[in-house]
Structure 1
């Protein structure tokens, strides 16, 4: 009688590799460790990564211009130099515009301070008559303010000088990175293809081109929305006779990128200053009304017509991105958070294993696109006035 076969001594096929399965707990533990290390590296290398991130965003915006100039017969170097000059002109215009407004605002600070002290005294008198609150004297308020200014004046001066130096240094780095990204873009694309099999390079090329197109359209559309909203805000504030109308119009339009919170901050500051200047609550409410109307137009007419449904980020994802960007990289991180979140969403949507995360970042209407036809999906993302017109037509 033959002995039973011994499975342990049976030789394995030479090309057969044993399958090793990891427990889900171990897999997700490694993922969390990797994310933690990534956040740590991003935070520690912020001085290096921030100029690169800004350069990448500007490169996506300038790439169509550079290509257009090259198709007109200009050498690539000259086309890139023209693009960099456009960036410098943009920064110069922003600095000159905001600088003049800030100078005028600084000259008005003593008057605003006197009127605020008057309102403060009236509020203290009302609280004393109503609740028996013991008011503070003007001398005490001035003494505490002067002491705090003396204590922090040297720190603010050093911080201002350091910030100015950092901005100039980072601007020079951004310009150099933009030049390199635009000049070596073909080389960088070939470098990326080295990681892809030859039979899949066409698919990857189409995916990269679609990502690039969508991100360019989203960022350029976002800038167009900011410009249009700034003009509308300025018209409304100038009609009401608000001081520093242009400054507050641009300030509020930039903050309007933040869902819900941005419009509140952008409208509160000019409303308070208008209340202090005029002493009229109705005038302050009219200022808030201007921002509310413009925000309504932006949400229902301007943004759907310009950016459409190419990249739509839900408000929760946008707010979390702003908070995380501020915690990671400060104010520059908040500026980059919305464009980078849009880029991540496009990448997630293009890569099948990460598609659920793209769905999570997207708006509610995006989830219905996979369940309906293209025509039905376009109907779902129409603005409310177009849907109403469609229903009336039926």
Structure 2
């Protein structure tokens, strides 16, 4: 009978391979390579990704309306069609209202140019009398302007034609994508669950619902803020008798989502036009005062009242997002930069390993009680007028 084998002297062969730890340099190198490839792909596939990104944002806006219609026994296909018709009607109204003002502004440009030249001449004479500044002749200014226009005129014409064609084709793509996202939303959710273990699907479902709720609240709140700020700007500019008040009000309200910079750009153009039209610096200062007051109300009352504190992006992150969006996708990238940054912040806050990045994007006021504020925002859902009453009561 053979003796039992000596297992102590036999070399061990574990069935599981030990985890190989990578050096931080290697890990961060692969991370940088992945980020570089992602940016390259996003830039090269902008014609494909931009319509999808816009469609995703509009889908989040239309999803509550679509669900409400389906809850009232409207078939899903009909509910989606009604949502798309509502979206087209809103855009048509904006284009008609904004476009008519823009057409009038374009027709008035020659008159404004003449008045601007007169104002420029008087300003140069004043500077020459006070500081000895050598004035530039009107002929030199016109020659330089005409040369610049001739140099870039062909490029602008070709860009305008291409942009018009792209807008029409992208609009059709966006409508098709929105229909597909709304119709196949349950299928897409099941597709996502295929990557998650069955015991973790409930947690993932709750996280996804939380992200969707917060993002919808932020984007719809942002649209409400733009509408309210447009109305307030319009009232102030109409009261001051500013030309093209509706155009400037909408233009400035859209720019108001850019912290600090947006209010300066939005107020500069109507102030200059008012100064050229009236020749009164006090009238121009009054126009700037309207935008400053509205911006104060927007930052301290309107935005906190409507969007709440569930998602707040600090000004530095917003400005960097606008710059990166413009560098990556141009003007559409600037439009999408703030909503996409808000979505990223919500995702970062929901995923524990990425939570520091969500804290970095958040406002300084969030601080250490960010989680408490977020739980309160999720638990307490009140209409904006009740939140206003609560704020006034305090």
Tell me the TM-score normalized by structure 1: 0.91
- What is the distance in 2 between the residues matched to 1:75 and 1:357? 41
Q: Which residue of 2 aligns with 1:150?
A: 150
The match for 1:74 is 74
CA apart distance, 1:352: 0.8
Aligned residue in 1 for 2:245: 245
- Does the alignment pair 1:32 with 2:24? no
Q: Deviations over 1:98-157 (max 9, x none)?
A: 110011101111111111111111122223334444433323322332333233222222
Partner SS for 2:93: helix
User: Which contiguous aligned blocks of 4+ residues in structure 1 show a shift greater than 4 angstroms?
Assistant: 370-375, 385-390
Q: Which position in structure 2 is the counterpart of 1:188?
A: 188
Aligned length: 381
After superposition, the Cα gap between the structure-2 partners of 1:42 and 1:386, relative to the gap in structure 1 and judged at 3 Å, is same
Change in Cα spacing, 1:156 to 1:387, as seen in structure 2 (3 Å) is closer
1:340 and 2:356 equivalent? Answer: no
Aligned-pair CA distance for 1:243: 0.4
SS at match of 2:243: coil
Distance in 1, matches of 2:371 and 2:49, equals 39
**CA distance in structure 2 between the aligned counterparts of 1:365 and 1:110, rounded to whole angstroms:** 48
Separation in 2 of the partners of 1:370 and 1:98? 39
| Matched residue, 2:115 | 115
More divergent stretch after superposition (263-272 vs 131-140): 131-140
Post-superposition offset of 1:8: 11
Quote the Cα distance in structure 1 between the aligned partners of 2:390 and 2:368.
Answer: 18
Equivalent-residue separation in structure 2 for 1:184 and 1:116 (angstroms): 56
Equivalent residue number for residue 178 of structure 1: 178
CA RMSD of aligned residues (A): 2.5
Number of the residue aligned with 2:366: 366
Distance 1:88 1:285 in 2: 38
Residue in 1 aligned with 2:263? 263
What are the ranges of 5 or more consecutive residues in structure 1 without an aligned counterpart? none
Matched, 1:319 2:319: yes
Structure 1 residue 162 displacement after superposition = 0.9
CA distance in 2 between counterparts of 1:389 and 1:188 reads 44
> Cα 1:124–1:370, aligned 2, differ >3 Å: closer, same or farther?
closer
Q: Tell me if 1:10 matches 2:16.
A: no
Matches within 5 A, 1:216-255: 216-255=216-255
Which one is further off, 57-66 or 119-128?
119-128
Whole-Å separation in 2 of the counterparts to 1:372 and 1:88: 39
TM-score when scaled to structure 2? 0.91
In the other structure, the counterpart of 2:129 is 129
In 1, Cα distance between equivalents of 2:287 and 2:106: 21
SS of 2:264's partner is helix
CA distance in 1, matches of 2:141, 2:360: 50
Tell me the CA shift for residue 194 of structure 1: 0.3
The offset of 1:388, in angstroms, is 11
Out of 361-370 and 132-141, give the one that drifted further. 132-141
Q: What is the CA distance between 1:72 and its match in structure 2?
A: 1.2
Determine the structure 1 residue equivalent to 2:357. 357
Instruction: Give the deviation of 1:86 after TM superposition.
Output: 1.2
Structure 1 residues 274 and 350 mapped into 2: Cα distance closer, same or farther (>3 Å)?
Answer: same
- Partner residue of 2:330? 330
- Aligned partner of 1:212 in structure 2 is 212
37 and 387 in structure 1: CA distance in 2 versus 1, 3 angstrom threshold: same
